[in-house]
Structure 1
Amino acid sequence: MCGITGWVDFGRDLAFERPTVEAMTRSLYRRGPDGEGVWVSAHAALGHRRLAVIDIEGGAQPMAARGRRAGEPVVLTYSGEVYNFRELRAELARLGHRFATASDTEVVLHAYLEWGAAFVDRLTGMYALAIWDAAREELLLVRDRLGVKPLYYHAYPGGLLFGSEPKALLANPLFTARTSEAELPILFNPRLALPGETPLTGLRQVRPGHLVRVDRSGAHETPYWRLVSREHHDDHATTVRTVREILEDVVVHQMVADVPLCALLSGGLDSTALTALAAADEPGRLRTFSVDFAGSGDDFHATTLRPDRDAPFAVAAARDLGVDHTPVTLDPAALPGAVPEALAARDLPSLGQFDASMYLLFRSVRERSTVALSGEAADEVFGGYPWFFDEATVWGGTFPWLGAGPRLTDCLAPDVRARVRPGDDERDRYATMRALVPRLAGEAGLEARMREVLYLSLQGPLHYLLDRKDRMSMALGLEVRVPFCDHTLLEYVWNVPWKIKVADGREKGLLRAAVADLVPPEVLRRRKSAYPATFAPAHARAVRAELERVLTDAASPLREVLDVPKVRALAASRTSPMTVADSLHFLLPIVEVDRWLRAYGVSMA
């Protein structure tokens, strides 16, 4: 896992721009503490920061080879893991390719040499990469199918900048941090962002499952993968067995590493199932970690999305599975101090305590491991969230995780609301995403609607969770792998009818059935519980004070766009949507957007 960046410009000689390319590369040093490389030519420059995971000695980048057209160089900068690289290496060797390293990087490079852009169809894994083909004078940007690894770009007349994080582009004078009032809906709720969209003017992400070709005619983005809806003919027993077989294969492939590997064990169904499968491959040796807060036994109160505490279940699951478990207990008072680190990792507004606590958790994990397995995407793939089972929300005609609850854009000043029209914006976004749902001919009623609900959940919400996991982990040089994001698993489960997914009448019923013999009974019966939040009164007071500072500081970039009495009324309210811990959690983006605008000097038009 690494950090990548680069610059293509057909109107200038980039050989004279090496210091800028080095600055772009250096900005990503936390993603790759083990090495740095820069490759520069007249019209293309690539940079790389390396986190060595496979072939510690032999995988340095950018990596170059001679192309088959006129012997011009083909150069790769690559972040991620291709889990089927051994199979691809064997196939390429049979076709006459010779390898100088044992790295997956070299396999990816030779796959391009053999199959051109069609090589992306053969990759299984999580990756973001850039390939410069000098003979074609073409840059190819590629992002994995579910968008596990990030890849941003800024296209301008005659050129393009790209990087794993916005900071790499911000290190180039050609890109400046600007936003506008029109972006307030996705600044306050990033889950509303359409694929590829960011709140920074001129900044895009390569969409999951897409590639971008950059040549003298400009930048052109096209899909290489998308979900397809098909009839599912397997009965319940066959479906359960197939899911189990796919999961076993996925975990085995994702255990490959030349560095210490662990699992994140919350005591929920998803993480416990992954841990059990991984522990079978490393009996008695697998390390696991969980997170909790000091005093949580006294401060915790149940919510729809957090009905109970993780800690007791994590300890019980670890004991049952026989793993080397480390509970990481955080002091809630330490969270505010970690928020600036989380912001610096994200380059976009953070999630406050949720980013900060994950950052501190990963800092502890990194002391003993370099690679971790995590359970993200199981809820989106198998149907695990509470809103999947609330009839009014399912049929509510909007994004299911929003439901009929308040919107943070309700807190905009009347004149700003009149200009931004957040209600129309939300409806337009919902209509756009709903139009992209891969339909199944003849499907109707609840089955058709749940296909929509699941697809919508696989977009903004999952992308935001994956982005958060990537940023907080890579800021510490920790690679987190997400087996439930395997595209083979998703393609199969996507077409399983909803009635089979919840045959037992519960969330993730299909997954429960597939791993029933692996997890302790108390975990198998446990309801969905989201990533932990602290309910410490002292932390709530600190957040409330920060919110009041934003509302009263005349220098706040948000001061003129907010309806201050409405914000204060919501802060005093005890009502909030089912997706948040409390009203302060709901209002937290106001504090974090303000912090981001100031820290990055973002101008708002």
Structure 2
Amino acid sequence: MCGIAGWVDYSGLPPDARSIAERMNDSQTSRGPDGAGIWSSPRAILAHRRLSVIDLATGGQPMTLGGPSAGSSRLVLTYNGELYNYRELRAELVARGHRFRTHSDTEVVLNAWAEWGPQAVERFNGIFAFAVWDDDHETLWLVRDHLGVKPLHYHLTTGRLIFASEAKGILAHPEVPTVIDEDGLRQLVLPLIKFPGANPYRGVAEVLPGQILSFSRDGVRRTQYWDLREVITRTDRPASLDDSVDRLRFLLEDTVARQTIADVPLCSLLSGGLDSSVVTALANGLPGHRGVGSFSVDFSDAAGAVDSRSALDRRYAREAAAFIGSTHSNVVLDAAKLSDVAVRDAAVRARDLPNGFGDLEMSLLLLCAEIRRHATVALSGEAADEILGGYRWFHDPRAVWAPTFPWIADSPAHGYLHQRVLGTLAPELVEKLRLEEYLHDEYATALGGLGFHPGLSREERRHREIIYLGLTYFLPMLLDRSDRLSMASGLEIRVPFCDHRIVEHAVTLPRDVHNAGGREKGVLRDAAKGLLPPSVLERQKSPYPTTPDPDYSQRIARQVTEVVTAPPGDLREIFAERLLDPREIANAARSHGLVSNFEGEVILNFASWFRQYRPRLVA
């Protein structure tokens, strides 16, 4: 996996364009520690940071193809991703007369674009974000994968478009100020939702999942080559349970086989839950991957405990690994490391934002850093709950029928976390930003474009609505988190459940198929029979673990006390006065609920962000 950056300016690039591109590129070094490259013309410059995964010796970027001598346009590509069907596409392109200099999937993407143009993306199976520049026609294309696993940001002004994998790459350009306006502040203080195409920094946007954005002298054009709205509203004849199970098992086997292709060490994230265990078992069953490495996270205070969530995860992970035959490692984190200010700063810097949920962020960052010492690629079970209805908010009636995004409903289905978020904010800010009104409007907009068949029952329609909301407003938040915190250590995380073929199969299955046997994700449990021990196969959904160590809470309380004594930036304009009162600080950092220490953690995240980014708030 890699980092990309660059820009097009039809008035011409400035004399210092290369040094600016280098600064943009260097800001994303962690995404591509193995190499760097820059290509430029009078009006376009493309940059690349490489993490070598396939074809280690060649495949450097930006990569060029064609030109006058070849009788075709000169194309330049800077590419971040993995094309899992590149071997099949390469064979087809060779049969069509294309010749290859490397064994990389990058060159396949470039030749496919030369052969089929933007329609080539419809043939791709993978996770990717890339830019193609046609030097003869002076047109730039930005392309993002079906589910938006790989990030792609841009900043658009008249005659100029700047792009980068991460916001930091764009903010490194001198023409892009670090400003947060009213809309941006809404996004910052509503961390449980990722608004499609939006980014908190003013003027920074994201290419949507499944989208191609073209930029020419005529302006910008956006095209959806894959649209989840069309998928979720299909009226296919419902499959039987047996057929649904067989099809899911086949797609999972095929997808995991494709996603284990790499020229570097590969492993699996194994929490002991159903989703990650299925992925690990399928990977371990492939030739060349017997005894695949698997990793889980644990906390030092839980080492002898038997009832904490992390202790239960450890037990199930060990049972799964023993049954599967993976080579398992349990990464133990202590309170001192988790609460290290430098680790928090690194997590905030990785995400470019203060959004995050305390030790969940730091533990994932540290877990990825440890895994990177052993492997470059890791498989994850992310997205199974979104496509198969695994979360509690798919089943709790108070969340299901709430007239809002179900995970922020006033119900225990997501630990009342939204209510806790609002409780941290200054009442004046909540009123100024009209947060509930804003969410109400966004919710209406989200569902407004869905046209379901009138024959769908009320329950089936709502089930599909929640799947759609989860895939467009909730999963992107998790994919962002996973990508940034893993790529901060140069670790590539692959997500088999985000294969668009699996999504297309899963999201329109009837609700009773999803819940086969009266169990959430029952269809997946049936598809996984024989792969896992019964204890793991039937285990209920368990959230990502947080540390129960009281020493961690005490450390956080001391740090918050120091911060509020002399708060940086505009901290007092964002948070409720009671949270910034040192006399009440013990209540702002405590271990309870779905996310421990949330109130104290969010203050520390914002303080770190203000200190590192020095944003200007203009709301």
Distance 1:31 1:577 in 2: 34
Aligned to 2:60: 60
d(CA) in 2 for partners of 1:162, 1:341 = 23
State the partner residue of 1:233. 238
Residues 193-235 of structure 1: CA deviation (Å, up to 9, x unaligned): 3211111111111111111111113233221111222224321
- Residue 60 (structure 1) shift: 0.5
For the residue of structure 1 that corresponds to 2:127, the secondary structure is: strand
1:316 aligns with 2:331: no
CA distance in 1, matches of 2:51, 2:426: 46
Residues 388, 514 of structure 2: 8 Å contact kept: yes
Instruction: Return the TM-score normalized by structure 1.
Output: 0.94
Letter in 1 for 2:587: A
**Native 8 Å contact 1:552 1:559 kept in 2:** no
Q: How does 1:319-468 map to 2 (within 5 A)?
A: 319-337=322-340, 338-351=343-356, 352-404=358-410, 405=416, 406-437=419-450, 439-468=452-481
Q: 1:233 to 1:576 in 2, by over 3 A?
A: farther
Amino acid at match of 1:265: L
Q: CA distance change for structure 1 residues 518 and 171 in 2, over 3 Å: closer, same or farther?
A: same
1:309 counterpart SS class = helix
What's the offset of the Cα at 1:566?
6.7
Alpha-carbon shift at residue 554 of structure 1 (Å): 4.8
Deviation per residue, 1:330-353 (Å, 9 max, x gap) = 112101221111122111125232
Aligned letter for 1:246? L
Q: Which amino acid aligns with 1:334?
A: K
Decide which of 538, 544, 550 is 1:525's aligned counterpart: 538
**% same residue:** 44
Shift of 1:575: 11
Which residue is equivalent to 1:600? 613
- Aligned residues of 2:6 and 2:21 also touching (Cα < 8 A): yes
**Which residue type is aligned with residue 358 of structure 1?**
L
Are positions 1:513 and 2:535 aligned together? no
Does the aligned pair in 2 maintain the 1:145–1:225 contact within 8 Å? yes
C-alpha displacement of 1:167 = 1.5
396-405 or 1-10: bigger deviation: 396-405
* Alignment correspondent of 1:35: 35
Cα distance in 2 for residues equivalent to 1:436 and 1:545: 48
The 8 Å contact of residues 299 and 536 in structure 1, kept in 2 or not, is answered as no
CA shift digits 1:283-316 (9 cap, x unpaired): 53311111101012567876xxx69731111111
Assess, with a 3 A threshold, how the Cα gap between structure 1 residues 247 and 200 changes in structure 2: closer, same or farther.
same
Structure 2 counterpart of 1:109, which letter?
Answer: L
CA shift, 1:567, in A, is 7.4
Of residues 558-567 and 146-155 in structure 1, the stretch that sits farther from structure 2 once superposed is 558-567
Alpha-carbon separation, structure 2, partners of 1:89 and 1:167: 34
Residue matched to 1:148:
149
CA distance in 2, matches of 1:299, 1:506: 28
Residue in 2 aligned with 1:49?
49
Whether 2:283 is the aligned partner of 1:278: answer yes
Query: What secondary structure sits across from 2:31 in the alignment?
Result: coil
Shift in CA distance, 479/413, structure 1 to aligned 2, threshold 3 Å: closer
1:543 is aligned to 556
Give the whole-Å Cα distance in 2 for the aligned partners of 1:97 and 1:202: 40
**Counterpart-to-counterpart distance in 2, 1:576 and 1:328:** 21
**CA contact 1:260–1:369 (8 Å) conserved in 2:** yes
Which residue in 2 is equivalent to 1:77? Answer: 78
Equivalent AA in structure 1 for residue 170 of structure 2: L
The 2-side partners of 1:581 and 1:22 are apart by 39
Aligned to 1:481: 494
**1:32 Cα shift?**
0.8
Q: How far did residue 548 of structure 1 move? A: 4.1
Which letter does structure 1 place at the counterpart of 2:256? V
Residues matched between the structures, number: 600
**8 A Cα contact 1:192 1:429, kept in partner:** no
Question: Hey, what's the Cα distance between the residues in 2 that align with 1:402 and 1:183?
Answer: 19
Secondary structure in 2 matching 1:197 = coil
Partner of residue 595, structure 2: 581
Post-superposition Cα deviations, 1:524-551, rounded to whole Å, max 9, x if no partner, equal: 1211112221111111122233444454
- CA–CA separation in structure 2 for the residues paired with 1:96 and 1:252: 28
Q: Name the residue aligned to 1:562.
A: 575
How far residue 555 of structure 1 moved from its aligned partner, in angstroms, is 3.9
Bigger mean CA deviation after superposition, 21-30 or 438-447: 438-447
Instruction: List runs of 5+ in structure 2 lacking aligned partners.
Output: 411-415
